[in-house]
Amino acid sequence: MEFKKATKINRKLRLALTGPTGAGKTYSALAIASGLSDKVALIDTEHESSTNYADDFDFSVLVLKHFSPQNYIEALKEAADKFEVVVIDSLSHAWNGKGGALEMVDQVAARNKGNTFSSWREVTPWQNRLIDAIVSAPFHVIATMRSKMESQMILNPENNRTEIKKLGMAPIQRDGVEYEFDIVGEIDAQHRLIFTKSRIKSFADRLIENPGADIGKEILAWLSSGKNDEPRITEQQRKKLFAMLTSMEKEGKIIGSFKEDLRNKYHVESSKDLTVSQADEVIGILTSLQQAK
């Protein structure tokens, strides 16, 4: 263990856009994405509604009809090495859509005689893998989330009555999911975007009317203003590492969720962005497994 001087490094964007239906989340996400790169993909959970903007923006689309976290993870893996920006529209479906986390809990509870608490132990790891796939993706990620009014029951000390207090809009996803993103913006019904969380100082609490590609370009300039990140492994090294992983999988030395964790975290099969230290970490894990056997 050793401390070293902190330096700003180039990184990929993790942006969340929240707002009610009709606020313009999809359009804004595509507009910002177009300022980041011309290689944009969109994971569509809204019955191909994103294609309404195909004349305004150049992007590829993958349509999900079942919203399990695993399907989102597979879609992100499919985008690796092909695109530089991926819009997830929307991430809310992975929580409360068809096949999403809440529905998964209900299905598991039905098998467990209604024990919802124990069901979360089976579903939570999939939710965590999805978030990890977003955070570790080798491309920029913009995720939209629907929002709803959040309220709380409180006791009014003046009349000793229980009242409902509105706390503001909250994204439809697991509590605290916004902390996983570098930037979080809320879009209102008038298509105004305010950044409620930002690691870019110039964006903090900033209000933007009808956000466009210029916002993406401004974000990209900040993301690219640091030092280059760690060196990446060569294509030959990546193929060798993937062969090692595949061989151990066939031999039964890698099983179950651990195999998925390796693939989702490091994108070993397809990612050319795998760093030398990440490759060393994977090799260390695989070597330990071989020795254990």
Residue 128 lies in a domain: yes
* 252 shares its domain with 144: no
Final residue of a structural domain among 196, 223, 250 = 223
Residue 23, C-beta contacts closer than 8 angstroms, at least 6 positions apart: 187, 188, 189, 191
Higher-pLDDT residue of 288, 223: 223
Number of domains in the chain: 2
Q: What is the pLDDT of residue 95?
A: 95
Residues 6+ apart with CB under 8 A from 225: 8, 10
Same domain, 206 and 240: no
More confident site: 170 or 12: 12
Higher per-residue confidence, 195 vs 167: 195
Structure tokens at 76: 């992100």
DSSP 232: B
User: Do 245 and 104 share a structural domain?
Assistant: no
- The residue among 257 and 66 whose pLDDT is bigger is 66
Contacts of 4 (CB under 8 A, 6+ apart): none
Does residue 20 sit in the same domain as residue 100? yes
Question: CA separation (Å) from 123 to 22, 42, 111, 127, 261?
Answer: 31, 25, 13, 7, 14
Among 3-7, 36-40, 86-90, 139-143, which stretch is predicted with the lowest mean pLDDT?
A: 3-7
Tell me, yes or no, whether 107 and 187 share the same domain: yes
Mean pLDDT calculated for residue range 6-33: 90
Residues 39 and 121 in one domain: yes
Residue 205: inside a domain: yes
Structure tokens, 192: 């105004």
Contact (CB, 8 A) for 228 and 276: no
Task: Indicate the pTM of the whole model.
Answer: 0.75
Q: CATH number of the domain at 35, please.
A: 3.40.50.300
pLDDT at 142: 97
pLDDT band at 211; cut points 50, 70, 90: confident
| pLDDT tens sequence across 132-147 | 999 989 899 999 999 8
In a shared domain, residues 174 and 269:
no
Residue among 280, 275, 15, 49 nearest 144 (CA): 15
Q: Give pairs for 188-192: CB < 8 Å, separation 24+.
A: 188/19, 188/20, 188/23, 189/20, 189/22, 189/23, 191/23, 191/24, 191/28
Q: Is the same domain home to 174 and 253?
A: no
Residue among 60, 130, 59 at smallest CA distance from 97: 130
- Quick one: pLDDT at residue 96? 93
3 lies in a domain?
Answer: no
Same domain, 186 and 269: no
Would the pLDDT of 198 be above 80? Answer: yes
Strand 140-156 to strand 161-171: parallel, antiparallel, or no bridges (unpaired)?
antiparallel
User: Bigger pLDDT: 118 or 17?
Assistant: 17
Position 229 scores a pLDDT of 61
Which of 131-135, 165-169, 228-232, 274-278 holds the top average pLDDT? 131-135
193 and 249 co-located in one domain: no
Q: Name the residue with higher pLDDT: 78 or 115.
A: 78
Q: Point out the domain boundary residue: 200, 223, 246.
A: 223
Residue 20 confidence (pLDDT) above 60: yes
- Give CA–CA dist 257/114, Å, rounded: 24
pLDDT value of position 160:
76
Q: Are residues 273 and 187 in the same domain?
A: no
Range of the domain at 191: 14-223
- The predicted structure's pLDDT at residue 259: 66
Q: What is the pLDDT of residue 287?
A: 78
Asked which of 181, 202, 223 is the last residue of a domain, the reply is 223
pLDDT above 90 as % of the chain: 45
Could you tell me if 197 and 148 lie in one domain? yes
